[in-house]
């Protein structure tokens, strides 16, 4: 079974070819530079970029896999959630290809693709379903932060989520206050590595709360007030690094504590992590140590499959098709507000 997968929910145009769970190719065209001058993603510009990139990216993915379109068996694409103008471009390309080639189409939920991305085995770029066990998954990205209890493959439910901003958004917005370029998360990660995480005691929102939800907007405000009061913090490279390390520590402390609490509450022996923020080295290290202390197994998505990509769309489609997924009607449109708890 050979699947062509397409992803265009935000600012990456991506295509991949996945054959029997092995990623034969994965191409990502990022629009970061286009949006950087606006400090965030502009949906209209994203759609235009997707439109010029989608066919070259699909052609590249096919050529890297040594295939032509008629060798494929299925077309899969992100159907939601995401920015409607952006989603529409990739999804429509998939609809048209499926129609022209007479192939089945599978619409994929974006968070679900992140959720199962840690199962891509890093060395072989292969979907490793045989190692599956019930787990708690932290899906942490620019648009979403949630804890999901995965009882069996494709049997999962959200047990905690942010009530306001996503963790990635908190990284990006505080980075902007510090004067770092967009997207701020990766830059903060780099600077934080050389700073003191205990330099400033920023709040750990909802850490003491016994539930599994998150809130990051208050932390953002606390950073703003702190910098207004102490503008000197940004004047030397060393104290700027301390600010980055302290913000990162506040975010990761909450993410780690709630993820471990969810694992305990639902009595699972494994944690998985995915989404752009899962690239963060501070978070990866803190989770690694916490899981080791608690005797939990940890599977973190490989960095190239953390940020938006189509390989995760193709691997999820493989898994779903193996479990008997029926094709998505070709005339069905995008589902921009599609939540993870809603069935496909
Ligand atoms: O998964 P993703 O590519 O897109 C969404 O679905 O949102 O995640 C992008 C987010 C951005 O907020 C970016 O700043 C954050 O992931 N991110 C990071 C790192 N790499 C990406 N945040 C912290 N540390 C990183 N190393
Ligand atoms: Zn994403």
Give 343's pLDDT tier (boundaries 50, 70, 90). confident
Task: Report, as an integer, the average pLDDT of 214-234.
Answer: 96
Residue located via tokens 């994203």? 46
Return the pLDDT at 146.
Answer: 98
**pLDDT tens, residue by residue, 97-110:** 999 999 999 999 99
> Which residues does 263 contact at the CB level (< 8 Å), separation at least 6?
135, 136, 269, 270, 271, 294, 296
pTM of this prediction exceeds 0.85: yes
CA distance 18 to 229: 52
Distance from the alpha carbon of residue 163 to the mean position of ligand 1, in angstroms: 18
Q: Is the dihedral of CA 61, 140, 193, 298 positive or negative?
A: negative
Pocket of ligand 1 (CB under 6 A): 10, 141-143, 168, 171-172, 183-186, 189, 275-277, 279-280, 307-308
Residue from 307, 309, 312, 340 whose mutation best tests the ligand 1 pocket (most atoms within 8 A of CB): 307
Distance from the alpha carbon of residue 189 to the mean position of ligand 1, in angstroms: 11
CA distance 280 to 217: 19
Distance from the alpha carbon of residue 127 to the mean position of ligand 2, in angstroms: 19
Angle formed by the axes of helices 237-265 and 184-192, to 10°? 100
Return the pLDDT at 40.
Answer: 83
Residue located via tokens 């079974």? 1
Q: Average pLDDT over the chain, rounded to whole?
A: 96
**For residue 230, what are its two tokens?**
């102490």
Task: Report, as an integer, the average pLDDT of 280-308.
Answer: 97
Domains in the chain and their CATH numbers?
Answer: 2-120+305-322 (3.30.420.40), 133-300 (3.30.420.40)
**For residue 178, what are its two tokens?**
């510090």
CA distance 93 to 17: 15
């Amino acid at each position: 079974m050979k699947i062509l997968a397409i992803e265009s929910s935000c600012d990456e145009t991506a295509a991949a070819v996945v054959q029997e769970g092995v990623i034969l190719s994965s191409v990502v065209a990022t629009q970061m530079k286009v949006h950087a001058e606006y400090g965030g993603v502009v949906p209209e510009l994203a759609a235009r970029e997707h439109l010029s990139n989608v066919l070259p990216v699909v052609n590249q993915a096919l050529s890297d896999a040594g295939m032509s379109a008629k060798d494929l068996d299925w077309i899969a694409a992100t159907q939601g959630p995401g920015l409607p103008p952006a989603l529409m471009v990739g999804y429509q390309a998939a609809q048209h290809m499926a129609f022209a080639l007479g192939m089945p189409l599978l619409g994929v939920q974006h968070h679900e693709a992140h959720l199962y991305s840690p199962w891509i085995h890093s060395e072989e770029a292969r979907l490793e379903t045989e190692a599956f066990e019930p787990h708690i998954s932290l899906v942490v990205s620019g648009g979403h932060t949630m804890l999901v209890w995965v009882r069996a493959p494709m049997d999962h439910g959200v047990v905690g989520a942010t009530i306001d901003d996503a963790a990635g958004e908190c990284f990006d917005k505080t980075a902007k206050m510090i004067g770092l370029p967009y997207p701020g998360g990766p830059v903060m990660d780099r600077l934080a590595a050389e700073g003191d995480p205990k330099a400033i005691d920023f709040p750990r929102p909802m850490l003491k709360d016994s539930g599994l939800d998150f809130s990051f907007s208050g932390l953002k405000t606390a950073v703003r007030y702190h910098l207004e009061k102490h503008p000197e913090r940004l004047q030397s490279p060393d104290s700027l690094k301390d600010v980055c390390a302290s913000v990162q520590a506040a975010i990761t402390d909450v993410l780690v504590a709630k993820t471990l609490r969810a694992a305990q509450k639902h009595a699972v022996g494994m944690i998985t992590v995915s989404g752009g923020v899962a690239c963060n080295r501070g978070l990866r290290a803190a989770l690694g140590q916490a899981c080791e202390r608690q005797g939990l197994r940890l599977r973190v998505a490989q960095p190239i499959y953390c940020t938006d990509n189509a390989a995760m769309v193709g691997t999820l489609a493989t898994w779903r098709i193996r479990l008997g997924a029926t094709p998505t009607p070709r005339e069905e449109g995008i589902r921009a507000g599609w939540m993870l708890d809603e069935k496909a």
